Amino acid sequence: MQQQQQQRDSTTPVPREIGPVNWIGFGTLFSKEVRRFTKVYMQTVAAPVVTTLLFFAVFALALGGAGRSVGDVPFLEFLAPGLIIMTMAQNAFANTSSSIMIAKNQGTIVDVLMPPMTSGELAVGYVAAGVLRGLVVGLVTVFVVALFVRIHLMHPALILLFGLLGTMMLALLGIAGAIWADKFDHIAAVTNFIVTPLTFLSGTFYPIERLPENWRFVAHLNPFFYMIDGFRHGFIGGSDAYIGTGIAVLVGVNTALWLLVLRMLSTGYKLKS
Amino acid sequence: MGAPAVVNALMYSGAFALGGVASDDDGRVFAWMLAGQAPFWCAMNAVIGPTIQLVIDKMERTIQDVVQAPLDPVEWLVAYVAAGTTAGLLSSLPIALFAVVINGFPGPAPLTALAVLVLTGMAFAPLGLLLGLWAQKWDHVGAALGFILTPIGFFSGLVQPVSAMPEPLRSIGAFSPFTWAIEAVRACLVGGPAAASVATAALSLAGMAVFLGFVAWRVLVSGWRLRT
């Protein structure tokens, strides 16, 4: 009898001890999110790089960009950082938004919500993978664009800082957008009517001083403008806005988005109902 | 389908006009860019419409509902081409309207522009049908649209008249169906130079519609990638 009891005790599973952070859960979610985009690298890395090169080629070959300059900077050297951060931002957004949207649509979101993970662990897992995809796409694009134009690295720390803040902002926006969206049409609307136009028209292709005065004022209210402007400053050493303002705006927007996403995940808004 | 195309057209035109020329105070360059975007999106959506439908049907195995229906291959062809052309027109007409409103309503030859847009849809829709039959997964569709069609379209007079582009882009661009459509529709909506006359462009697009329609019909008759 005692022997049977001892045998049962040795085979009965005991509850897993989880410390302050569920590292296994976080690592699994992060790994799943990274594998999602590396598995289809043609769509997630190669295609954005080709699109960036296409825009670059249009300006270089068809629009005579090779002969123009913005201030003292050749136009193509001005254009390259804008295109790179635009691609990074769009991909960070796509990573988080598509993952959550597909999971909601297919009903597999329960696999993410049921494990003993806090909303913070979930959010950090998704955001880290989104930021990583943005950085990978950005790095590949830098190397490819460098084949055609001279890439300066005036302030590498600022490049990294604005790259991180920018991709984090878009990754968070992707989570919030996908949680809010009830169907693919909704998230497509966010992508087509908000994210893409804002990344496109916030100084990627031209200095903001080229805009009419009223639009220039509007541009300074747009966080995407500070993301592009600061990132470009890291490469060419010139910016339209004060860099400190850009950092403050991006930190502020990121903080607000973190709070929003954590609130959405902790209350289960449109996830647990 | 229509609204995203309009937003994309406005976005591309704005970026190319602001980034590409010294000044555009009266908005003429913007309208010129926009007028070229109309046939570009007409062609792209005429391709995308049938392609997406066929690939979804093949992946979800609902293609058998279409294959088993008592439909002649000609009826199939006409239905897919008509649907693709409609998708192209729905996305391009609002863009064309924007262009003529900015540049001066109603433009030099709006009805001719409409006819060329219809021909553009009819020329590109069979290509979408063929692409949808060939593609077996989304990677194939993405590669064909992103790596082939979009780059060709961008260098076919979309941002600069083909005649003003450097060689070899000028010579290659002259043979692109996108060029025929873009330069002809633009000339009819806002004026300006075109590499070929509008009649030549319309005839070329009609020829492409007949040729690709015939190829698509033969492929449908054979049942390639549908009944295997």
Considering CB atoms only, which of A47, A193, A201 is closest to B146? A47
Chain segment B68-125, per-residue pLDDT in tens = 889 899 999 999 999 999 999 999 999 999 999 988 888 889 999 999 999 999 999 9
What's the mean per-residue pLDDT of chain A?
90
Contacts B20 to A, Cβ<8 Å: 59, 63-65
How confident is the model over A228-251, as a mean pLDDT?
93
Phi and psi of A73, rounded to 5°?
-100, 130
- Looking at the partner chain, which of B18, B139, B160 has a beta carbon nearest the beta carbon of A205? B18
Q: What is the pLDDT of residue B1?
A: 61
Task: Give the pLDDT of residue B25.
Answer: 65
Q: Give A1's pLDDT tier (boundaries 50, 70, 90).
A: low
* Percent of chain B with pLDDT strictly greater than 70: 95
This complex has an ipTM of 0.76
Contacts of B160 in chain A (CB under 8 A): 62-63
| Mean per-residue pLDDT of chain B | 90
A166-197 confidence digits (pLDDT tens): 999 999 999 999 999 999 999 999 998 899 88
**The pLDDT of residue B159 is above 90:** no
- 8 Å CB contact between A97 and A191: yes
Could you state, in order of their start, the residue ranges of all structural domains in chain B?
A: 2-222
| Residue burial A62-77, b: 16+ Cβ < 10 Å; e: rest | bbbbeebebeebbbbb
Distance from CA of A43 to the nearest CA of B (A): 7
pLDDT in tens, A204-220: 888 887 777 787 888 88
Residues forming beta bridges with residue A73, ordered by sequence position:
A70
Chain B residue whose CA is closest to A39: B139
Q: Do A79 and B4 touch (CB under 8 A)?
A: no
> Cα-flanking dihedrals φ and ψ of residue A118, to 5°?
-80, 165
What is the percent of chain A where pLDDT is above 70? 95
Which among B15, B147, B155 has the least Cβ separation from residue A200? Answer: B15
Q: Cβ contacts (< 8 Å) between A206 and chain B: which residues?
A: 15, 18-19
pLDDT tier for residue B165 given thresholds of 50, 70 and 90: confident
Decide if A172 contacts A100 (C-beta within 8 A): no
Residue A129 has pLDDT above 90, yes or no: yes
Q: Chain B residues with CB inside 8 Å of A192's CB?
A: 3-4, 7-8
